Amino acid sequence: MSETLIGLCGILALFFFLFARMPVGMALLVVGFGGIWVIDGQRTAVATMSSETYSSITAYALSIIPLFVLMGNMAGAAGYSQRLYEAAYAWIGRFRGGLASSTVVGCAAFAAVSGSSVATAVTIGKVALPEMKRFGYADGLATGSVAAGGTLGILIPPSTGFVLYAILTEESIGKLFIAGILPGLMLALLFVAVIYLATLLKPEEGPSGPKTTGQEKLVASLKSLPLIAVILVSIGGIYLGVFTPVEAAGVGATLVSAMAFGTGAVKLGQVPSILIETVTMTAMLFMIVIGAHVFGPFLALTHIPETLASELQNFGFGPYGTLLLILIGYIILGMFFDGLAMLVVTMPVVYPIIVGQGFDPIWFGVICVIVIELGLITPPVGINVFVVKGVAKDVPMGTIFRGVGPFWLAMVVCLGLLVMFPQIALYLPETMK
C-alpha cells in the first residue's frame, strides 16, 4: 500500500472518529500515531508521540490559552457581560430592533474578554433573550441575533481560533489578534444592518425598547467602563508593542480578577468552579494541540499536501479560483464538524497551498476564523444554535436556524469584502510597533 493511500485511509478514519463524537484531540492522536506506525514503524511512532507531546504543550506561547480563558470565565462569573449589554441597551435599545442590536454590540464587547463563541452566546443570551421576549420580539430574530452575535467570540481578540492557527502555522499571535479587530467590528455592523433591514420590512418582529434618560445612559456606561478599560489595556498593549500576547493575557486576567474580587462581584466560594472550568477548557485545547502535532508529521510522511498543491496548480484555477474551492470545502465541512477540529485537520494541507498561491497568511487566518464562524450557525451541527436552544428551550430548533439565515448571508458578504479588500484585515497589523 502506498504512503498516499495510507494517508487517505487515515483521513477517512479521522472523519469516522469525529462523526462518532470521539474528542478531537484524541482522534488526531490515534490516527497520527497509527499512521506513522504503519508507514515508518513502531519506534518512530512512539518517538514522535513522546517528543511532540512534550514540545507542543511546553511552548511558552501556549500559556496565553489558560490566561485568556481565566479572564473570560472570571468576567462572566462577575456579571460584567450584563454590564456591557446594559450599556448598549441604554444607548440603542429604544430604536426599532434595538434590543437585538444591543445583543450584537454586547456580544462584540464581551468577545474581547472571552475568546469563545459558545461562552459569548451563553453569557449574553441569558441576559438578552428574556428582555427580547418581554418586549415581544420574534423568536427567530431574538435567537438568531444571539447565535450570530456569539460567533464574534472567536474573531474579535482574544481568540482561541487565532491561537490555534498561529501554533499550526507558526505565525504571530499578536498580529493575528490585531488583524481580527476591524473585520470583527465590520461583521458586527453587518449584523446590526441585518437587524435594521429585518425590522424595516417587519416592524412587529423587533419593536422599540424603553427610552432611557441621559443619566441612565451615563450610569450604564460608567458601570461598563472598567471592563472596557481592561480590553483597551490588554489589546492596545499588544498593538503598541508594550506587551507580548502572553503578557497581555496575564495583565488582562490579573486586572479582571482584581476587579471581580475587589468589588465583591466574585466570592471565594466561586473560585473552585471558575478554576475547574478554566482547566477543563485549557486541557481540551491542549489535547487538540498535541493531536495536531502528531497528526501533522503523519500527513507529511504521506506527501498528500505536496501532491494536492501540485494537482491544484496543474488544474490552472489560479489563486482566487483555488481560494474559492478551499472556502467552499470549508463551508461544507463546517456543516458537520466542529470549527477548531476543521482548522486543525485541514491546515497542514491548506496552508502550503495558500502560501504557494501568494496569499498573506495573516489575512488567510482571518478568513479561516470567519469560515469557522459560518460553521457555528450552519445546519445540521451549528453548535451555537444548539447552545441558544439550551437557553431558549421553548423555541423550536427550526425557528432558530431560520433566524440565523440572514446573519449567515452577512458573514458571506464579510468574506467577500475581505477577499476584495485584504487591507481591512492587514492595515492594523502593518502599523503595529
CB atoms within 10 A of CB 268: 7
Rounded to an integer, the average pLDDT of 277-289 is: 86
How remote is the C-alpha of 60 from its chain's centroid? 22
- pTM for this model (two decimals): 0.85
How many Å apart are CA 1 and CA 255, to the nearest integer? 57
How many Å apart are CA 418 and CA 323, to the nearest integer? 12
How many Å apart are CA 162 and CA 157, to the nearest integer? 8
How many Å apart are CA 386 and CA 402, to the nearest integer? 13
For residues 125 and 385, the answer to whether their CB atoms sit within 8 Å is: no
Q: Which amino acid makes up residue 245?
A: P
Band (pLDDT 50/70/90 cuts) for residue 277 is: confident
The pLDDT score that the predictor gives to residue 176 is 92
Q: How many residues in the chain?
A: 433
For residues 157 and 341, the answer to whether their CB atoms sit within 8 Å is: no
| pLDDT tops 80 at residue 312 | no
Q: Cα separations (Å) of 147 from 109, 378, 392?
A: 15, 11, 11
| pLDDT tops 90 at residue 182 | yes
Band (pLDDT 50/70/90 cuts) for residue 433 is: low
| pLDDT tops 80 at residue 309 | no
The pLDDT score that the predictor gives to residue 150 is 86
Strand runs (DSSP E) across 330-415, as ranges? none
- 96 sits in the region (left: phi over 0; alpha: psi -120 to 50; else beta) called beta
What are the sequence ranges of the domains in the chain?
62-286+304-430
Q: Render pLDDT for 53-70 as a digit per residue (tens, 0 to 9).
A: 888 788 787 888 888 888
| pLDDT tops 90 at residue 225 | no
* Nine cell digits for residue 297: 508529521
Band (pLDDT 50/70/90 cuts) for residue 127 is: confident
* Nine cell digits for residue 341: 477540529
Rounded to an integer, the average pLDDT of 263-281 is: 87
How many Å apart are CA 375 and CA 136, to the nearest integer? 29
How many Å apart are CA 397 and CA 379, to the nearest integer? 10
For residues 103 and 146, the answer to whether their CB atoms sit within 8 Å is: yes
* Nine cell digits for residue 320: 482566487
Band (pLDDT 50/70/90 cuts) for residue 185 is: very high
Q: Cα separations (Å) of 271 from 51, 77, 260, 268?
A: 34, 9, 11, 5
Q: Cα separations (Å) of 266 from 66, 70, 210, 273, 398?
A: 19, 13, 30, 11, 37
Rounded to an integer, the average pLDDT of 304-326 is: 78
Task: Report DSSP state, residue 392.
Answer: S
